[in-house]
Structure 1
């Protein structure tokens, strides 16, 4: 899965040079060395390519990074997170299944650098959040809230935000690092898209790409955790609003975000930040607010467009379903990862 931890590593790597090439492993390579994938390779290639700091993507990149590979792409050095050194030093455990360090050759050649790992997130950790729950925790039923509306959810005991898995907090500095730091120019056509953007994936990315093509400046509204929980119920969202904000900001098609955006796009919202020209929504279900369509106003003034993309089939629920369908494989993958991390912690304590 492509998450904001990857984006932060990519951002740091780009600051070390002028042109950033990102190698993405195939499904086969990942299964061989790490376990089952969540997103398939085509989805991952496109997700990485959409990251604003990436200049070029190399698909089917070998897991073992050699000097020849660097020379083939005219790369001066290779960058990886500093967690790899901690694993090797503390546990004497290599990064490849055959017992060798997959960066050993480029390290010896003096063409290896490290960036700081983003704490609190990893694919393993995100999968773990989903594995803590059962399939029914993510399904709406007669005991879930809501069914078709979100009115009065703050006063409804069934609407309590229940996932509470992540306590990740971001800082103003991190927001600035991820932001584009630009405002729309006079005459720019401003497009607005809102949503949860939970487990940010290529389905979201393709929607944002298509939305940006409709204008000059893309403003993205991100609903807060309580609103998302009221809309979807159960144990959503998987990622909290801080994590979802960084994920969206890392996308090259996004110019600015509204953190904690209102669920209804009314006349006031259309002019509150910038004068919005078009409001865009994907093919996902829209819940009513007090019995009314949250996009009633932009529709009434002919400023609403619904977009269908080649990834419209891919939703957050779809990603979770993939986890559940391969639950035993992911549980074994996470168990091995936990053993390795516990070994590191024990050695550090000693």
Structure 2
């Protein structure tokens, strides 16, 4: 009887808790969730409300419903808890029958500077994962703050500097986390590796009779509009192949400010989505015979019901699939959430987000100091 009981206990799934803002859900968030899921069997993610984040951190870029949906679409997440408390408590972990909580190896503090995870650390219910270097919501907002409404829509200044239309007053408003005055240039500091791509890849090959659907796009600032589109595309078949255009192509088609995220950042965001099976990295802008047959035999090419920019030669990029009768246009109820729309939110409330950046940088200094003190205390 004792052996049966022990066996039953061993089979109980390990329940892991992660919480956060997940504002502008990016591959750094996804990587933390991937690491947390690898520590157990069932991953529960608590997402803070707009009100809680405003109180402790500043205004959000994405609304809470958008953030809940973005986290739910991550393939490593089993359950989302909306309106999770900003200060992680032992009580919330008990409520969801959680074995332990996971957070990155950086300190997160409340508005008053106290460690959000101190209670669960003291209770022995805390574990750490590696924070992904080179990306954060603060950095992404910084990239967008270096744009103006006119500049980021300009397709005729391919050689211009991204700083060309920013005033010296705007540039002077930025400071680094180290406390030194500086300019956030908006350049990505993420260094891609083959290992990271493998970690995010599903690795599943299609079955011989699977209906393979192909979609392509930029997928910049990966958001709920993209997610809903990919979900609907996946419903049209058994296997979803996604083409992500390279930086040079996006830049040539959309203009000097795009893309905000580089190719590998965008690929990782797409790979983290539960509706995606495989990605073509640096897919051509126009759908070619190679795209339709050299990776897998594509049965259907889907595209959203939004305007499509012509290729550089002026041709319709979906001319071939239309001729073959395999082109399908998807209705997308979330088409109102776009990359341009997110940038507009930042530009519209420019001063608010500049103040948010200043507050974040000042808070980052305090968090680094607290982290150094904590490490010194362990020595």
Rounded to whole Å, the distance in 1 between the matches of 2:303 and 2:160 is 25
Report the equivalent of 2:110: 96
Q: In the TM superposition, what are the counterparts of 1:90-239 in structure 2 within 5 Å?
A: 95-140=109-154, 144-145=155-156, 158-160=157-159, 165-239=187-261
* SS of equivalent residue, structure 1 residue 251: coil
1:65 to 70, 88, 91: 88
Higher mean C-alpha displacement, 100-109 vs 284-293: 284-293
**8 Å contact 1:161–1:225 — kept in the other structure?**
no
Rounded to whole Å, the distance in 2 between the matches of 1:162 and 1:227 is 18
- Is 1:322 aligned to 2:336, yes or no? no
* SS of equivalent residue, structure 1 residue 135: coil
Report the equivalent of 2:297: 275
How far has the Cα of 1:325 moved from its partner? 1.3
* SS of equivalent residue, structure 1 residue 83: coil
* SS of equivalent residue, structure 1 residue 20: strand
2:320 to 292, 297, 307: 297
Q: Deviations over 1:150-188 (max 9, x none)?
A: xxxxxxxx4359657214221110000000011111100
**8 Å contact 1:25–1:63 — kept in the other structure?**
yes
List, as ranges, runs of 4+ consecutive aligned residues in structure 1 with deviation greater than 4 Å: 160-164, 342-348
How far has the Cα of 1:333 moved from its partner? 1.1
Report the equivalent of 1:334: 357
* SS of equivalent residue, structure 2 residue 150: helix
Rounded to whole Å, the distance in 1 between the matches of 2:87 and 2:190 is 32
- Is 1:32 aligned to 2:32, yes or no? no
**8 Å contact 2:245–2:283 — kept in the other structure?**
yes
Report the equivalent of 2:5: none
Gaps of 5+ in 2: 1-23, 163-185, 373-379
Gaps of 5+ in 1: 88-94, 146-157
Rounded to whole Å, the distance in 2 between the matches of 1:345 and 1:21 is 28
Rounded to whole Å, the distance in 2 between the matches of 1:29 and 1:299 is 48
Rounded to whole Å, the distance in 1 between the matches of 2:90 and 2:364 is 29
Report the equivalent of 1:14: 37
How far has the Cα of 1:45 moved from its partner? 0.6
Task: Say if 1:59 and 1:161 are closer, same or farther in 2 by CA, change over 3 A.
Answer: farther
Report the equivalent of 2:177: none
Normalised by the size of structure 1, how large is the TM-score?
0.89
How far has the Cα of 1:101 moved from its partner? 2.0
Rounded to whole Å, the distance in 1 between the matches of 2:367 and 2:87 is 23
**8 Å contact 2:138–2:357 — kept in the other structure?**
yes
How far has the Cα of 1:271 moved from its partner? 0.5
**8 Å contact 1:245–1:257 — kept in the other structure?**
yes
Equivalenced residue count is 325
Rounded to whole Å, the distance in 2 between the matches of 1:207 and 1:28 is 29
Rounded to whole Å, the distance in 2 between the matches of 1:175 and 1:301 is 33
The two structures, once aligned, show a CA RMSD in angstroms of 1.9
How far has the Cα of 1:342 moved from its partner? 4.7
* SS of equivalent residue, structure 2 residue 253: helix
Report the equivalent of 1:152: none
Report the equivalent of 1:4: 27
